[in-house]
Structure formats: structure tokens, C-alpha cells
Amino acid sequence: MAAASFVSGTRHTDSKEKREREMIEKRERNDREKRERKECKRERERNDREKRERNNREKREKKERAGRE
């Protein structure tokens, strides 16, 4: 009987460790995905800013050319 309860206890411990391991993996995956989303957001904002600056520069240059003619 003692062996059976020991095995049962081991199974419980293994499942507990498995749950803890899964929680750690889930947390790491969530952290990684969050970092990736932040990086994508930063890149999108940078691209938008560059596009806005380029458009403003082109408009300004177009006005300057029209003013000279």
C-alpha cells in the first residue's frame, strides 16, 4: 500500500510541476508576443512619421517651386 500512495504522490507532484512549467512557458510566450507587438507598433509609428515628414517636405518644395515661377 505504501508504494501505491507514493506513486500517487509522485504523479501529483509531476502534474504540479507540469502545470508550473506550462505556466512559466505561457508567461514567457506572452512576454515575447507583447515585445513583438510593441516592436511592430514602434516600427509602424516610425514609418508613419517618415511618410508624414516626406509628404510635408514635398508639399513645401512644391510651394517653393510654384512661388519662384
Q: Is residue 43 domain-resident?
A: yes
Question: What's the structural domain count of the chain?
Answer: 1
Q: pLDDT of 6-54, one tens digit each?
A: 555 556 678 888 999 999 999 999 999 999 999 999 999 999 999 999 9
Q: Is residue 47 domain-resident?
A: yes
Q: Is residue 38 domain-resident?
A: yes
Q: Is residue 68 domain-resident?
A: yes
Q: Is residue 46 domain-resident?
A: yes
Residue 46 carries which side chain, given as an amino acid letter? R
Domain containing 52 equals: 18-69
Q: Is residue 32 domain-resident?
A: yes
Q: Is residue 45 domain-resident?
A: yes
pTM (predicted TM-score): 0.59
Q: Is residue 53 domain-resident?
A: yes
Q: What is the mean pLDDT of residues 43-69?
A: 94
pLDDT: which is higher, 42 or 2:
42
Query: Which alpha helices (H) appear in the chain, and where do they start and end?
Result: 2-68
18 vs 14: CA distance, rounded Å: 6
Q: Over 90: is that where the pLDDT of 66 sits?
A: no
Measured CA distances, 4 to 8, 9, 18, 69 (Å): 6, 9, 21, 97
